[in-house]
Amino acid sequence: MFTRSELEIKTIQELSQLCQRYGVRPTGNRGYKTSYITTLMAFPILALQQFQDARGLRKPSFASFQNISTALDEMDSPTDEQIALIRISLEGRRMAYPDRYDQEKLLNVYKAKLHLEEVLSLLNA
């Protein structure tokens, strides 16, 4: 991420700003550049090590994957008429009340299905 030479040419104030930007605290005395440089060079490696150790942000369990897949299966696929209504809805056309409420529900379920499919794709990468 950062090289030592890249960081050593910066002032303590610039190093402090980098630490603040990324939300990390310098190790040791704030009056020394080394405290900031050590932190800025180490945090990417520490973050990956914590991820591998399942500390903090971690991948969901296999059961969670199955639950998402089950939800997608329950949602099924839209019919030709539903696809047509979704397309016209995405163009901004709305039905009269009270049918508009169901139109919005259909559109929201469709969008949720797309997002869940994207979630599975991202988590499998």
- What pTM, to 2 d.p., does this model score? 0.74
- Both tokens of 18, joined, read 């980098």
Residues 33 and 9 placed together within one structural domain of the fold: yes
Percentage of the chain beyond pLDDT 70 is 100
In total, how many domains does the chain have? Answer: 2
User: Which strand (E) or helix (H) includes residue 35?
Assistant: helix 33-52
Sorted by sequence, the CB contacts under 8 Å of residue 35 that are 6+ apart come out as 26, 27, 28, 29
Omega cis (within 30) before 60? no
Residue-number span of the structural domain to which 10 is assigned: 4-53
Q: Tens of pLDDT along 14-73?
A: 999 999 999 999 999 999 999 999 999 999 999 999 999 999 999 999 999 999 999 999
Residues 32 and 72 placed together within one structural domain of the fold: no
Return the number of other C-beta atoms located less than 10 Å from residue 75's C-beta.
14
